[in-house]
Structure 1
Amino acid sequence: MTTVTGNDSALDTERIAESATVNGILRCWVRENGVQVPESVDLHLPLKVASTAVCAEVRYCSPTGHHRFGDVRFPSGAAVNAVTLAALLTAEASAGNTSDPAAALDLVERVADSQRRTATHLRERQAELDASPDTSPFLAAEQALVLGHPLHPTPKSRVGWTDSEAAAYSPELCGSFQLHWFAADRSVVSGEGAAVDRLDGFAPETPEGMVAVPVHPWQASEVRKRQSVEALFDAGLLRDLGSSGPPWYATASIRTLYRPDAPVMLKCSLALPITNSKRENLRKELLRGAEIDRLLDAGLAAAIADAHPNFAIVRDPAWLTVDLLPGSAEGESGLEVVLRDNPFTPQQQVVCVAGLLAERPDVGRSALGTLIARLADRVGTTTAEVAERWCAHYFDELIAPVLWLYREHGVGLEAHQQNTLVSLDVDGWPCGGWYRDNQGYYLSETRVGELEEYLPGVGRAGDNRVDDAVIDERLSYYIGINNLLGLVGAFGSQGLADERRLLAVLADRLRPFADLTLVRNLLNEKTLRCKANLLTRLDGLDELVGPLETQSVYVDLANPFVEGECTA
């Protein structure tokens, strides 16, 4: 992908967006098909269905799959753009299988939409010369993902949003907006964790006997199209209070809203397809977050603090929703909202890992690049040496507690980079960490009896008692591949360190946890099970729907901890 240094006023946002999109598609294709990337010649991909081939310039060959590709061309020399490449690879992947044709068309449409929006993000952020200096470190990192997931074919697709809606609601565009509010009769309101009381400080007045329900403004319009919700309005059980209050900001997940001075964040339902699923809260997820909060209160939080005092879990202690009338076909109303604790002060150096690593062509380099360069200058050594020390600190503060929690208590955390927050000291070294996400808790079926000593029946309401083999596969991906290999890939692809040296550092850190199956797999197995984002989109799967075991497509990936080849 094209790299840019400095604030170039002539930044070619269309070209960079095109390159970023092509790179994402090719990285997915290489990873999901076990293609070896050559280090010194072009990548050649034969396409049997189209009776042709494409050739991609290899600018950086990454052991972890974070390759950089330049121009992509047909054998004739004609250029291949991102949408054409998506169509060709979709046809190739679909040949001979039962993929839904509509899903294939949808994928190509989303590729085009993602590319267009990426160009907009770059153009608007370049015009503003990055976020306001008054923006908190937490929010700045949440707004930093202008390019998105480097191993996803459609990371910035927002099909369903107009440009004006995207300007208001996108974290990449630093949008802000008032909450929309409905008033719901208490007879149709469900919740936990004293949710109504937690809203008291900023909820509007409601008619007697009704409760104020916060709604993302886009979702407020969306649910009014649903017959089941309109039935509540017709019955006088739901009233529209309109928008009010100070502005809120979208975090990296888009649907979780943040205000620096508010004691809570709001994880709203949003019926918008983002990456691999529509982002509406399911009832079991609401129950899961509150149940984990009770488990932590019952003694698990104290156990974590004793073993790893610098690591904690961001709580989702309360939720609120409006129930549909009996006989409604839908399960949820679309008005589900989680009240997440906001434990961070505006000045606190706690940042989303994905945002820290995110490439920033609009400002020249990632926040990670700036931080490592500053540390190298302060310490008086090379960025490569600082990178090795930084990664070791990172593992100790963020990954070791997650592995410890699974080993000691049978609780698995879906700790991918967007769910992981790193605390930085005044110099920029990792000094602590947080995990967030009410969806991403796995309770080991074989260990749940121990957890019931804290909280009887835990895992039933949240429907997250899971077979150990499934947990090992999922955590191997989320912790090992997405988080750790993604960290290494960011350092390497951004020219900050040698990936193989960082892999060796992390392997040394992993070895004390080798009694865990997932760690033994990371250290010893030739292949790892890896989520395939392109194939998941091609199959039209929604990662929030259906049994955990079948929500995503998984493929075998050559293990970079073992293999030295440029596959992945």
Structure 2
Amino acid sequence: MNSIKKDKDLIYNLTDDEAQALSYLNSHNPEWANHFKSILLQSRDKITQRLVSSLHRENLVNSREYSTVIDAQTLPFTLETDHNEILKIAFPQSQKTLYAPISGHHAFDRIDVEGPFYFENHNKIQRIFHPNEVLDCILTEAPHLDNAASYQFKEDINNSSANMAIALSYQSLTLDGQNDPIFDLIANASDSYLASEQSVVEGHPLHPGAKLRKGMTPETAIAYSSEFANTIKMQFILIHQNIAKVESLDKDYNALVYKKFEGLYDIAQQTVGHEQIENYYVMAVHPWQYQAVLFQDYATELEIKQIVPLNYEIDYFAGLSFRTLMPKYPKYLPHIKLSTNVHITGEIRTLSEQTTINGPQVTQILNDIQANDVLFKNINAATIDEMAGIHFYNPEDDKTLQPKKSAQLGTLFRENIYNLIAPHTVPMIPSSLVSQYSNNLEAPIVTLIKNYAASQQIDCYETAALTWIKTYSQALIDLALPLYVKYGIALEAHLQNSIATFSSNGLIHTLYIRDFEGLRIDEAYLNKMGYQTTTFHEKSLILTDSAQTVFNKVFYSSIQNHLGELIATIAQSSEDISLETQIWTIVRAQLVEKLDDIAATMDDHDRIQQIAATLFAPKIDYKCVTTMRLEDEADYYTYIQVDNPLYQETHH
């Protein structure tokens, strides 16, 4: 086999993003810089891994037709891997063949791969050093994709790889000498919930742009991203009522917000005076936005005192979702979702007008349904209130400027999880259930299953795993399915939009779903059920007349993403190759039973049958995250049909 370029030579071949990161770390913390260098290749591999997995799963450039799974033993050369199976993908135009060691086969046609990855070209084997080498092959196969969108995607991958290395090196630096399972580190933290958000250092498990922080320097990315656990000084401003729109649960927006933040009203009153205070709304602003955007884009409003900065700041911390911040327990202040002009995962994360106006209204509808419908009694799931929202809106602004200025200055206040949870439970973001770190590869979901097995004296890990996931999926299904089937509301209940609490025996206590920005509502169906949407924002993307869109939203987020990730991780933790199929059989039975429960409370049986036909069909839509980025389809989703693990041939 040809000698492979030594890893240490890599250091002379950095991307601009990596060079910038290394330069900053060298001047800031040389020890961290050394960790960065040693982990860089692994970080790039993690982005390559996401790209290769989605390339195959989404059948990008017809890669499925050019793919085979082979036994590592049959290779004419040796690859550096412990895995027995290799995914081999040919790129005819480049005359290259990609070799990717397989770490697992999972539901929805998912093949997980693990670096290092290799190209074979004219009988020469070369290690793949950067995900862009794979992207170059994709673009050679499909030149029509070589455009502005793919150029941006390439930049995103560069940025993601560098940020992955900053995050992983920080984790290896700070957890040096630690080897407890991540779950124990979270459970023993002073604020378990915040610790769980901070533990997810690898970002989105399937998205090649997992660690994107475009538009930020390494310094600001470190200052404001959750994994670095830095204190963030939340800023506040007053905004004249003529240039803002508000919505709140108890109709008096200001009263609600002032009540939450001690001393804020007094400072506001001192700043503008007793006579003027009633003419302003108060809002929170992310310090990044405050420094980078406010004084530049709102200079006129500041000058004429339509916007007035307040000398009031309070310690907050970033969550996994960069623009959602929370206080540290034992403070019970609201979680706050904010506007930030930062490019993350696939888009600029400002806050749309519809999010701030619809959040409290959606909350009201959800609360009413949960309080009055028998289907939501005695279930282990609930939604989290979006209490109040505000956004900048100047009717005098130029029509081309208005949407941007409104989206750049918005705030949504959400209930603090510690006001909701039962005593002696551990709250965690479910994204953290599948996280790990180099000193201990045991994911929290595995620790919880082991804790459950120990508490019940169950000898068999797989037996405990089946009960564990059954109680977990029941909580999710009990909330998400009736809301969708009976009311046409599809929650976006993926791993990052949920909070799960766990009892001391390791089982789930309650699952809370939050963040109503990305949900979808079948408007006509919800109206038919007696809930009006006339006061929703006029540009509401969440309201739709497409039944398929609503189905895809609920199915992708809760079944494919949420349960799919957890089930894949459980399957990887066991030697029993039938475990994953067993779990999907249980989930299927739970869905069937829940549909029967729902049917008993409604007359529209045609709807239930149609939903069941799609839910249990042999093939189901899968959202193509990479294809969408390359084809620049950010506003509408691209899907591919994949095998559905809920399908059973015996089903009639």
TM-score between the two structures when normalised by the length of structure 1: 0.87
TM superposition shift of 1:263: 3.4
TM superposition shift of 1:471: 0.9
Q: Aligned partners of 2:566, 2:575: CA distance in 1, in Å?
A: 11
Q: Aligned partners of 1:283, 1:304: CA distance in 2, in Å?
A: 34
> In the superposition, relative to structure 1, how do residues 183 and 486 fare at CA in structure 2: closer, same or farther (>3 Å)?
same
What is the DSSP-based 3-state SS (H/G/I as helix, E as strand, rest coil) of the residue aligned with 2:125?
A: coil
Match in the other structure for 1:5? none
Larger displacement relative to structure 2 (178-187 or 166-175):
178-187
Equivalent of residue 444 in structure 1, options 507, 513, 522: 522
Match in the other structure for 1:213? 283
Work out whether residues 381 and 478 of structure 2, in 8 Å CA contact, stay in contact via their aligned partners in 1: no
Matches within 5 A, 1:33-432: 33=59, 35=64, 38=69, 40=71, 41-64=85-108, 65=110, 67-75=112-120, 76-92=124-140, 94-95=142-143, 97=144, 99=145, 101-129=147-175, 133-193=188-248, 194-200=252-258, 201-202=261-262, 203=264, 204-205=267-268, 206-208=271-273, 209=276, 210-224=280-294, 227=297, 229-241=298-310, 244-259=312-327, 260=329, 261-303=331-373, 306-324=376-394, 326-328=396-398, 329-331=401-403, 332-333=405-406, 334-345=408-419, 348-361=425-438, 363-378=440-455, 379-432=457-510
What is the DSSP-based 3-state SS (H/G/I as helix, E as strand, rest coil) of the residue aligned with 2:40?
A: helix
What is the DSSP-based 3-state SS (H/G/I as helix, E as strand, rest coil) of the residue aligned with 1:447?
A: helix
Match in the other structure for 1:559? 644
Structure possessing the higher relative contact order (Cα contacts under 8 Å, 6 or more residues apart): 1
Aligned length: 543
Structure having the higher Rg? 2
Larger displacement relative to structure 2 (301-310 or 160-169):
301-310
AA aligned to 1:559 is N
Match in the other structure for 2:605? none
Match in the other structure for 2:627? 535
> In the superposition, relative to structure 1, how do residues 196 and 123 fare at CA in structure 2: closer, same or farther (>3 Å)?
same
TM superposition shift of 1:419: 1.2
TM superposition shift of 1:428: 1.4
The question of 1:21 aligning with 2:90 is answered no
Q: Which runs of 5+ in 2 are unaligned?
A: 1-33, 72-84, 176-181, 596-607
The question of 1:472 aligning with 2:520 is answered no
Q: Aligned partners of 2:236, 2:638: CA distance in 1, in Å?
A: 38
Work out whether residues 523 and 533 of structure 2, in 8 Å CA contact, stay in contact via their aligned partners in 1: no
TM-score between the two structures when normalised by the length of structure 2: 0.77
TM superposition shift of 1:238: 1.7
What is the DSSP-based 3-state SS (H/G/I as helix, E as strand, rest coil) of the residue aligned with 2:100?
A: strand
Work out whether residues 41 and 129 of structure 2, in 8 Å CA contact, stay in contact via their aligned partners in 1: no
> In the superposition, relative to structure 1, how do residues 519 and 172 fare at CA in structure 2: closer, same or farther (>3 Å)?
farther
- Identity score, percent: 19
What is the DSSP-based 3-state SS (H/G/I as helix, E as strand, rest coil) of the residue aligned with 1:158?
A: coil
Structure number having the greater helix percentage: 2
> In the superposition, relative to structure 1, how do residues 80 and 500 fare at CA in structure 2: closer, same or farther (>3 Å)?
same
Work out whether residues 490 and 519 of structure 2, in 8 Å CA contact, stay in contact via their aligned partners in 1: yes
TM superposition shift of 1:316: 0.9
Per-residue CA deviation, residues 180-215 of structure 1 (Å, 9 max, x unaligned), is: 223323332321213322332243433232443211
Q: Aligned partners of 1:172, 1:487: CA distance in 2, in Å?
A: 21
AA aligned to 1:255 is R
Match in the other structure for 2:79? none
AA aligned to 1:423 is T
Root-mean-square deviation over aligned CA pairs = 2.9
Q: Aligned partners of 2:119, 2:389: CA distance in 1, in Å?
A: 53
